[in-house]
Amino acid sequence: MELRQEVLEEMALLRERTPDVNGSVACTVDGLQIASDFAEAAMGDAAEHSAALSAALLAMSRRMLSMTGQGAFEETLISGTAGFVAFYAAGPTIVLTVLAGPGANVGLLRLEGRKTAAGVAAVAARRH
């Protein structure tokens, strides 16, 4: 099975386990989309753009942590008026971006997001 399909399976499990999740995108740290799993088919272009932005945010987050001595990157959570966007390191080469609706259980989002990121990282490690 190819990397994209295995990553999609992990992302589909995330949506099954976390009802508030609207979708997710996995991309390389260079911003190239690996896979996207969105409830709405119209998110195609947004998925491409969010992959590039995810990589940029990961780089900035890692730099901030390094500069302030706060350790290795785990996640960045953005809270907006219409929901949340969470970013997770999925190993050294992949970023997992997860969208959740307003009123989402943030604790569950963080727990399941980290679990999915670990699953994606394991898939990537098996492929190399």
Sequence-distant (≥ 6) Cβ neighbours of residue 77 within 8 angstroms: 84, 85, 86, 87, 106, 109, 110
Helices (H), 18-105: 44-68
At 65-109, the pLDDT tens digits run 999 999 999 999 999 999 999 999 999 999 999 999 999 999 999
**Please, which pLDDT band fits residue 40 given cuts at 50, 70 and 90?**
low
Put simply, whether the predicted model's pTM sits higher than 0.85 gets the answer yes
8 Å CB contact between 28 and 3: no
Q: What is the CATH number of domain 3-127?
A: 3.30.450.30
CA distance 72 to 80: 25
CA distance 58 to 62: 6
CA distance 56 to 60: 6
CA distance 112 to 118: 10
Task: Report pLDDT for 44.
Answer: 55
Rg (CA), the chain: 14
CA distance 29 to 9: 20
